[in-house]
């Protein structure tokens, strides 16, 4: 069984969390999904609804996949050293670490992406770059893979990245089957990114 831990913080983006979790959840008994935050308990999203964190990050170890969403709350958490320290420890201890949208700003600020290729939400791309000046930011990409780190563009791109991660964990046939089950049109080409041009990045 593969254990997937998703980080929550006040102001996280709903689809960044639940888009990927819907797809991972379709793996049924092959996965265990847990929610983590600075402290266990309810955490309010940017859109309003709260989600329950099962565990505080300090007690988490040995995840197969760490998922880090974006959202307006990232602007606060990049200046939260205890959160970043716990995030760095959990990410380093995980087999894979993945971010959606501006979640890559948190990974970058924690020093996890230095010297690595990564991407982020194209509307917030310039701000995200300031959080990791030693990161090789890729402006035009739906998602980027560099070793154990997967980073995606904005919001819905996290679902495409998740299917790419499922392909890495299992195989392409499994990813295609999950996409079909979800009636989701998977952009499986990591370089497909019309939003980079739309936002003047290329």
Average pLDDT over residues 2-29: 98
CATH code for position 66: 3.40.50.880
pTM over 0.75: yes
pLDDT tier at 19, thresholds 50, 70, 90 = very high
Summarize pLDDT for 91-130 with one digit per residue, the tens. Answer: 999 999 999 999 999 999 999 999 999 999 999 999 999 9
The predicted pLDDT at position 166 comes to 98
The predicted pLDDT at position 195 comes to 97
Mean pLDDT score across all residues of the chain: 97
The predicted pLDDT at position 143 comes to 98
Q: How far is CA 120 from CA 28, 32, 88, in A?
A: 29, 26, 18
CA atoms of 45 and 70, how far apart (whole Å): 10
Q: Whole domain around residue 7: which residue ranges?
A: 2-198
pLDDT tier at 85, thresholds 50, 70, 90 = very high
| Number of domains, the chain | 1
As to burial, measured by CB atoms within 10 angstroms (0-12 exposed, 13-18 middle, 19+ buried), residue 133 is: exposed
């Amino acid at each position: 069984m593969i254990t997937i831990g998703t980080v929550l913080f006040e102001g996280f983006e709903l689809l960044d969390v639940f888009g990927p979790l819907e797809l991972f959840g379709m793996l049924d008994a092959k996965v265990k999904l847990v929610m983590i935050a600075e402290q266990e308990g309810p955490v309010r999203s940017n859109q309003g609804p709260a989600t329950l964190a099962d565990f505080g990050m300090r007690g988490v170890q040995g995840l197969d996949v760490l998922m880090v969403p974006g959202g307006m709350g990232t602007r606060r958490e990049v200046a939260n050293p205890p959160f970043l320290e716990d995030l760095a420890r959990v990410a380093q201890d995980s087999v894979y670490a993945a971010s959606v949208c501006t979640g890559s700003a948190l990974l970058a600020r924690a020093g996890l992406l230095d010297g690595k290729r990564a991407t982020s939400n194209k509307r917030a791309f310039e701000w995200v770059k300031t959080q990791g000046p030693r990161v090789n930011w890729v402006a035009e990409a739906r998602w980027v893979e560099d070793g154990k780190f997967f980073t995606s563009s904005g919001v819905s791109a996290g679902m495409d990245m998740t299917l790419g991660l499922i392909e890495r964990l299992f195989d392409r046939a499994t990813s295609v089957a999950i996409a079909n089950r979800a009636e989701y049109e998977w952009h499986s080409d990591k370089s497909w990114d019309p939003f980079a041009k739309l936002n003047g990045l290329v």
